[in-house]
Amino acid sequence: MRIGGDTGLSLAERLTERFHRLTWRTPIHGVKLKGRHPLKLIAVPDDPFIGDVRRGHALLAGQMLFRGDSHALETLFDRKTTQTRAFAEYLQSFAWLRDLSTVATRAQGAPIAEQVMRGWLALHADKVTEPAWRADLWGRRILFWTAHAPLILSSADLVYRSSVLNTLARGARHIDRGAEKMAPGAPRIAAMCGVCAAGLLIAGGDARRGGMEAALNRAIAGSVFEDGGSVARSPAAQLDIIMLLTMLRETYESRRLGAPAALYDALARMVPALLGVCLGDRGLSSWQGGGPVLAEILAQIVDATGIRARPLRQAREWGYQRLSAGSAIVIIDAAPPPVARLVEGGCASTLAFEMSDGPHRLVVNCGGARAAVAQLLPSLAEGLRTTAAHSTLIVGDSNSTAIHADGTLGRGVAEVELTRQESENSSRIEASHDGYARRFGFVHRRQLVLGSDGRELRGEDMLLPAGKRRKSAAATPFALRFHLGKGVQVSPTADGMAALLRMPGGALWQYRCRGGTLGVEDSLWIDPDGRPVSTQQLVVTGESPAGGASISWALKRAN
């Protein structure tokens, strides 16, 4: 981008120059910035990501739509309007500007953006309230306001335009004091990205670059494991952080400045980890409340980062293991759930797996506890977080990690032991967790072996006595669940020990088990749009004596 008086300026650059001439002077950062500085945007960054076309067209039609919740633009700030939390954060973050700019010209989009902006300013500009002034939402808002300045600052009304820029400066000052207090992960990264973006784009901020970048480096170090996974253990959070850091990088580039090395390093580590939890359709698998993300959306995001990398096979800290051979891919959750303060809606999914054959998903988790549409009953959304909603073993109809009534995770899995072996003929993972040891006196050990041609996955799930004494001598019921992908048809065999699975693409897989009774039950899967889709699941049930139990099973391609 050319800055200053260069010829051949783009529309965004010409608007920036116009802002410089028309804006007024005010102190920006109080004590930390001495003197008076012109309140202006030094540059207008690009937003490198494509928005949601459907949501964008809804905005053009006078409606704001997000995850099944819809409101007319004129009622957005009506105090009587009830909004879901997800919708409110979409509105407050101004992420909808991306959707609007994807489908609208500046002439079409600016009046809509200004309408919503005026409503927001009237309600929130002069009064610090939650969640509007929460540090992470302000961080996102600064990124979107600056990247989409041509939409929100095209008005000839000088008072309105000055109000927008003055509020942006106040927001920057507000989060400057609270960004590092946000929870590690996407909330802290979002807040710090806003702090840095404001420092780069509002006059007078350059003097503080060193301190801001040091704080950003600390936020990244506390939010991203060395293997590139986010501390929230959520692929959705992983994707969010990648997009935030990429937007901040664009802010540096709009100033022709190099971003901190820690930012580039984080992206270089995070993208392979994200690709490591993608299945054969190149979309995300469903973990820690997130739903699948479509391949084309994911590809555009990864392309915008500029990172070219192969999927990460082992992420011991992040906790996901990837097996791949032939056309088969298997993703395993091989770590305890994240601690409650790092993620909302965490799931009791330890040792669950998802599997695909080519572009089709064979075994899945129900997923989507935090990505489902508003119409999904709250009780059902909470049920998606349970162990039973994942493809793994459940003991005593109980979660491997407790889910409290207030939604937080409690006691359960504290330790996961893992070994992995690669040979010419197969890839083998053996892992165990202690989530049932305290309550039932068992350790769950799972072994998965994927053949080198990808045509067979063999598994064994064992309940092993933990410690010297069992809590009870009575037999303990268990259920081993395999939630099946959308469109997979099940035909059980007459002996009740096997089933034929027909996939949408015509592939046939045989499932056989030993050590329990096989049944077929209804299930559901949250699709990329957050909607529940009716599916089926294989369920192997039985009872374990005090000495433990073993269930062996195999999935083998039949054609």
pLDDT averaged over 10-residue windows placed end to end, the chain, 559 residues: 37 43 34 49 96 98 96 93 93 98 96 97 93 96 97 93 94 92 95 96 88 96 96 96 98 96 98 98 95 95 96 95 98 92 85 98 95 91 95 97 89 95 96 95 97 97 82 84 98 92 95 96 96 97 95 97
- Cβ atoms 358, 325 nearer than 8 A: no
Number of helical H runs and strand E runs in the chain: 15, 21
The predicted pLDDT at position 471 comes to 54
Helix (H) or strand (E) holding 386: none
Range 305-309 contact pairs with CB under 8 angstroms and sequence separation of 24 or more: 305/242, 305/246, 305/267, 305/271, 306/267, 307/267, 307/268, 307/271, 307/272, 309/268, 309/271, 309/272, 309/275
Written as six digits, the tokens of 399 are: 């979660």
Helix (H) or strand (E) holding 166: helix 158-176
Sequence letter at residue 398: S
Q: What pTM, to 2 d.p., does this model score?
A: 0.91
The whole-angstrom separation of Cα 143 and Cα 139 is 7
Count of C-beta atoms within a 10 Å radius of residue 436: 25
- Cβ atoms 321, 420 nearer than 8 A: yes
Greatest alpha-carbon span in the chain: 84
φ, ψ (nearest 5 deg) of residue 57: -65, -35
Helix (H) or strand (E) holding 172: helix 158-176
Alpha-carbon Rg for the chain, nearest whole angstrom, is: 26
**Through-space distance between the first and last CA atoms of the chain, rounded to whole angstroms:** 55
The whole-angstrom separation of Cα 317 and Cα 225 is 6
Note the helical H segments in 202-328.
209-223, 235-254, 261-275, 295-305
Count of C-beta atoms within a 10 Å radius of residue 211: 13
Q: Give SS3 for 483.
A: strand
Point out which residues pair with 65 in neighbouring strands. 70
- Cβ atoms 413, 401 nearer than 8 A: yes
The whole-angstrom separation of Cα 456 and Cα 139 is 47
- Cβ atoms 267, 259 nearer than 8 A: no
The dihedral sign for the CA sequence 129, 130, 132, 133:
positive
Point out which residues pair with 71 in neighbouring strands. 64
Written as six digits, the tokens of 502 are: 């027909």
φ, ψ (nearest 5 deg) of residue 192: -70, -35
- Cβ atoms 318, 241 nearer than 8 A: no
Q: Are strands 508-514 and 517-526 parallel, antiparallel or unpaired?
A: unpaired
Q: According to the 3-state scheme, what is the secondary structure of 421-465? A: EECCCEEEEEEEECCCHHHHCEEEEEEEEEECCCCEEEEEEEEEE
